[in-house]
Amino acid sequence: MIKLKNDKQIDGIRASGQVLAKTLKALQERVEPGISTVDLDAYSRELIGKHGGRAAFLGYMGFPAAICTSVNEAVIHGIPNGRKLRSGDIVTIDCGIELEGYYADAAVTVPVGSVPPDVRQLLDVTHESLYLGIEQARAGNRVNDISRAIYRCVKSRGYGVVRPYCGHGVGLAIHEDPQIPNYVGSGKNPRLKPGMVVAIEPMVNLGGDDVVLLDDDWTVVSSDRSISAHYEHTVAILDSGPEILTPWE
């Protein structure tokens, strides 16, 4: 069931999104060769606590950290560890915040030092596809309008689109209906209405579409071990159009 949010609830999600945006901005600035993802996780807990929020992923389905950190071929749900990042790596930082009962979810892929041109282009195209999806998050459109905009952008460059994981409703919980796939499938295709709040999150591989779950039962990697990028915003669908609630840029 899709829960429409009233103005007061959207204000609450916006406040949560501001905490998340500040957290992701600070984390991005901290990324450099030599830092580990467990260092980033510790810093995220400090930042979230300072703003009075709660890390929504910590303990969610048993997840052991405050942020997901997915390096290189890892697509999503990577667990922070002590390996030091090296120049040429990329790291996706995915974070969920709960503030006074309201939830926001966002992710950014950050290059470490200098990355090869093909990886830089993967990041640029994935980021572009997120914005093309957000542009379609308008009352009167349908979920597939978002999905199609993302898919076309990504496939026009020949990249792989991750299918088993997708965007979702968010706001009163970290995951709500509807699902927002990054491809046009045959599933439910609800019409978008004012008051819907959705997390839009293209996950894009430099190689093929397929992904596989590692033995830690969390980390999802591309099956061909190609580099993978992921950007996400929480977006409110308003009468005036889409509003990004997690402005981490």
Among 65, 97, 107, 149, binds Mg ion (CB under 5 A): 107
- Compute the least distance from the CB of residue 55 to Mg ion, in Å: 12
Q: What is the CA radius of gyration of the chain?
A: 17
Cα 246 to Cα 243: distance, rounded to the nearest angstrom: 9
Nearer of residues 45 and 88 to Mg ion, judged by Cβ: 45
How many C-beta atoms surround the C-beta of residue 101 within 10 A?
12
Beta-carbon count within 10 A of 61 CB: 8
How many Cα atoms within 13 Å fall on the side-chain side of residue 148? 8
Nearer to Mg ion, 13 or 84 (CB): 13
Asked if 98 is part of the footprint of Mg ion (rule: CB under 5 A), the reply reads: no
Name beta bridge partners: 58: none
Q: Which is nearer to Mg ion, 105 or 145 (CB)?
A: 105
From 24-32, 105-113, 213-221, 241-249, give the range in contact with Mg ion by CB under 5 A: 105-113
Shorter beta-carbon distance to Mg ion: residue 177 or 224 = 177
Number of residues that bind Mg ion (CB under 5 A): 5
Rounded to 5°, the CA angle 133-1-183 comes to 30
Tokens of 209: 């579409």
Selected range binding Mg ion among 37-45, 140-148, 189-197, 227-235, rule: CB under 5 A? 227-235
Closest to 144 in 3D by CA, of 169, 179, 170: 179
Compute the least distance from the CB of residue 199 to Mg ion, in Å. 4
The residue within the footprint of Mg ion, chosen from 48, 143, 153, 199 (CB under 5 A), is 199
Residue 94 found at the interface with Mg ion (CB under 5 A): yes
What distance in Å separates the CA atoms of residue 190 and residue 192, rounded to the nearest whole number?
A: 6
User: In the complex, what is the shortest distance from the CB of residue 201 to Mg ion, in angstroms, rounded to a whole number?
Assistant: 5
Among 41, 89, 105, 243, binds Mg ion (CB under 5 A): 105
In the structure encoding, which two tokens stand for residue 126, read together? Answer: 């994935």
| Site for Mg ion, rule CB under 5 A | 94, 105, 107, 199, 232
